Amino acid sequence: MKKVLVGMSGGVDSTITTLLLKEEGYEVEGVYMKLHSKPGYHEIHLARAQKAADFVGVKLHVLDLQDTFKEKVFQPFIDTYADGKTPNPCALCNRNLKFGAMVDFADEIGADYVATGHYIKTDGEYLYAADDDTKDQSYFLFYINKDILPRLKFPLGERKKSDIKELAASIKGLESFASQAESSEICFVETTYTDVLKNYVQVDQPGEVIDKDGNVVGEHKGYMHYTIGKRRGFTVNGAHEPHFVTKIIPEKNQIVVGKREELACNKVVLNNLNFFNDEKEFKSTVKLRYRTKAVDCDVKIEDEKAYVTLEEGVFGVAVGQAAVFYEGDKLIGGGWIIEAN
């Protein structure tokens, strides 16, 4: 019998994932990973994961990965904002923890497969966007190691979140999983990202708002409060039209603002590439942030960087974010934005 290790977070998705795999006839074990160090969090979520494991009848392992998480995900999150850029902690967590450390643990216990409740599909060679496009998480998995694709299982990729909740609600003993609040977008951010940053760096430090020619036009609350495309929380003297953040200059604690048309980005450069194929020059579509539609582009890969020309201007493109390429619903790879013009 083939063995599957399921990442069990105590949420409805991974609980139903575990149940489905067990029903399919696999030998199933679960693992709860302690990732971030938010006080009180693990007591609640581990108890839920244990309840789910007991209900389905699987063994639950607990892995304490807080140090790895801090080094590979949390510290880069702080450093990226301090650097005036916009981080993507989930993509780093997926590579290093959920599809890194968890796969290592699967090897230790002799599991053939690794499964999670992510909304995404795979054929063992590529990843594909989920059928439920309101829940699709493929954008956040672009950076996982290609070698492990044949060992991944995502039982929810062809299902709808609403069906998963309904299923849980209909099973006596799992009803409470259906009514749990949905987890926030970034698991360790409860309110706003600046509330997290404030414990580590000085976020509130008023500075100058400048226009593209360097003229001081207003005041802001501290550059880390802003991401590219933001249009509130700073002053622009005498402005009649909305102004948007177009650039962040951390070393001078300045933000540059401009009108909407100044925000349009037509070219991006990426590094730290992760592609599932070997093409070096191609046409594709690209998502430059989560929950946006993929736009047509031309891509050229040279010296381990990708040079991307967008066929239409895209607004709100931030250095530090991920650019993820798709052919239809097939994810072909991606990289990290180091320049956006």
Ligand X SMILES: Nc1ncnc2c1ncn2[C@@H]1O[C@H](COP(=O)(O)OP(=O)(O)OP(=O)(O)O)[C@@H](O)[C@H]1O
Among 13, 29, 136, 208, binds ligand X (CB under 6 A): 13
Nearest approach in angstroms of CB 62 to ligand X is 9
> Is 93 a residue of the active site?
yes
Applying CB under 6 A, does 179 fall inside the site for ligand X?
Answer: no
CA 56 – CA 174 distance, rounded (Å) = 10
Applying CB under 6 A, does 130 fall inside the site for ligand X?
Answer: no
14 annotated as belonging to a binding site for a ligand: yes
Q: Which residues of 247-274 are buried (b: 16+ CB within 10 A; e: fewer)?
A: bbeeeebbbbbbeeeebebeebbbeebb
Angle of helix 12-24 versus helix 161-170 axis, rounded to 10 = 80
Among 72, 95, 118, 153, binds ligand X (CB under 6 A): 118
> Is 90 a residue of the active site?
no
Q: How many CB atoms lie within 10 A of CB 52?
A: 30
Nearest approach in angstroms of CB 256 to ligand X is 34
Strands 152-153 and 113-115: parallel
Q: Which is nearer to ligand X, 187 or 322 (CB)?
A: 187
Applying CB under 6 A, does 187 fall inside the site for ligand X?
Answer: yes
Among 87, 117, 155, 333, binds ligand X (CB under 6 A): 117
Report the DSSP beta bridge partners of residue 282: 299
Find, among 240, 250, 244, the residue nearest to 211 by Cα: 244
Applying CB under 6 A, what is the total number of residues that bind ligand X?
17
Helix spans in 83-231 (H): 89-93, 102-108, 161-170, 175-179, 193-197
33 annotated as belonging to a binding site for a ligand: yes
CA 252 – CA 109 distance, rounded (Å) = 51
Applying CB under 6 A, does 19 fall inside the site for ligand X?
Answer: no
Q: Which is nearer to ligand X, 80 or 116 (CB)?
A: 116
CA 221 – CA 209 distance, rounded (Å) = 10
Nearest approach in angstroms of CB 9 to ligand X is 3
Nearest approach in angstroms of CB 42 to ligand X is 8
CA 61 – CA 130 distance, rounded (Å) = 28
Applying CB under 6 A, does 12 fall inside the site for ligand X?
Answer: yes
Among 32, 113, 142, 326, binds ligand X (CB under 6 A): 32
Which residues contribute to the annotated binding site for ATP?
7-14, 33, 117
Active site residues: 93, 187
Residues engaged in binding ligand X (CB under 6 A)? 7-9, 11-14, 31-33, 35, 98, 116-118, 183, 187
